Amino acid sequence: MSEEPTTAPAPEAAAPAPEAAAAPAQAARNNRKTRRGTVVKKSGDKTIVVLVERRYQHPVYGKQLVDAKKYHTHDEKNEAAVGDFVVIQETRPLSKLKRWRLVKIVKSAAAAEKKAEEAAEAVIAAEEAAAEGK
């Protein structure tokens, strides 16, 4: 009987590269739920409360309904302020209530307030100019 020699697989093929093992874990991390909402409260250090509104149509009557829910969110850099429009993402439990983390600030309340003040000043200036012209 003649036995055929068997060849062992190459060592590169036997062990996957570390980058390949990290790729599925990174894909799972990016698959987490995200929500958009408004910061309604700054609760302690590195914590904000975000109000997320969900609009949907009633299945029978067709009326537009608004369902609101508050999420306790981790803000690592303490950068969000009350009134900011933010994006949050699901994460591991960080405390008794915190299961979400701040991803980015889409629209800052301070910038919107400054823009409103400038618009009000422009209206006042226009009214004063019209009053002087009479």
* Mean pLDDT taken over the chain: 84
**106 and 85 Cβ atoms separated by less than 8 Å:** yes
- pLDDT tens digit sequence for 44-81: 899 999 999 999 999 999 999 999 999 999 999 999 99
Q: Chain centroid to CA 98: how far?
A: 14
Fold annotation for 30-133: OB fold (Dihydrolipoamide Acetyltransferase, E2P) (2.40.50)
Domain spans of the chain? 30-133
pLDDT at 94 over 60: yes
- pLDDT tens digit sequence for 7-35: 655 555 555 555 655 666 666 667 899 99
pLDDT at 2 over 80: no
Q: For 114, list phi and psi in degrees, rounded to 5.
A: -65, -40
The model carries a pTM of: 0.65
pLDDT at 41 over 70: yes
